[in-house]
Amino acid sequence: MAILKRDPNKKKRRWRLRHRVKPNTRPGTIIVPEKAAPTRLHATAYGPDEIVEKLDCTVAQIKKLIGKYPVLWIDAVGLKEESVIRELGELLKLHPLSLEDMSNIPQRPKIEGYPNHLFAVAHTTTYKKSLAISQVSFFAGEGFVVSWRERTNDCFDFLRKRLEVKGGTTRSSGEDYLLYALMDAVIDTYFPALESFGDKLDDLDDRVEAGHSGDIVKDIHATRHEIRLLRRIVWPLRDAVDGLMRKHDWLIGEEAIIHFRDCHDHVVQVLDALESYRDACSDVRDHYATAVSNRMNETMRFLTIISTIFIPLGFLAGLYGMNFNPEASKLNMPELNWPWGYPIALGLMGTIALGQVYYFWRRGWLGGNGEKPKNASPQQMKPPNK
Contacts of 180 (CB under 8 A, 6+ apart): 256, 259, 260, 263
Structural domains in the chain plus CATH codes: 26-289 (3.30.460.20), 291-370 (1.20.58.340)
Predicted model pTM: 0.74
Q: What is the pLDDT of residues 29-73, one digit of tens each?
A: 777 777 888 899 999 999 888 999 998 899 999 999 998 899 999
Q: φ, ψ for residue 179 (rounded to 5)?
A: -60, -40
3-state secondary structure 325-362: CCCCCCCCCHHHHCCCHHHHHHHHHHHHHHHHHHHHHH
Please say if the pLDDT value at position 24 is more than 70: no
What DSSP state is assigned to residue 106?
S
Closest CA to 39 of 62, 67, 13: 62
State residue 109's pLDDT score: 92
Beta strand spans in the chain (E): 2-6, 15-19, 40-46, 51-54, 71-77, 110-113, 117-127, 131-141, 144-149
Helix, strand, or coil (residue 248): coil
In the predicted model, what is the mean pLDDT of residues 15-37?
65
Q: Rounded to whole angstroms, how far apart are CA atoms 245 and 249? A: 7
Confidence of residue 249 (pLDDT cuts 50, 70, 90): low
In the predicted model, what is the mean pLDDT of residues 311-334?
79
Q: What is the pLDDT of residues 90-118, one digit of tens each?
A: 999 999 999 988 888 888 999 988 888 99
> Do the beta carbons of residue 40 and residue 153 sit within 8 Å?
no
> Do the beta carbons of residue 221 and residue 289 sit within 8 Å?
no
- How many CA atoms lie within 13 Å of 379's alpha carbon, on the beta-carbon side? 0
Q: Rounded to whole angstroms, how far apart are CA atoms 74 and 226? A: 31
Q: How many helices, marked H, and strands, marked E, lie in the chain?
A: 11, 9
Closest CA to 116 of 137, 85, 81, 90: 90
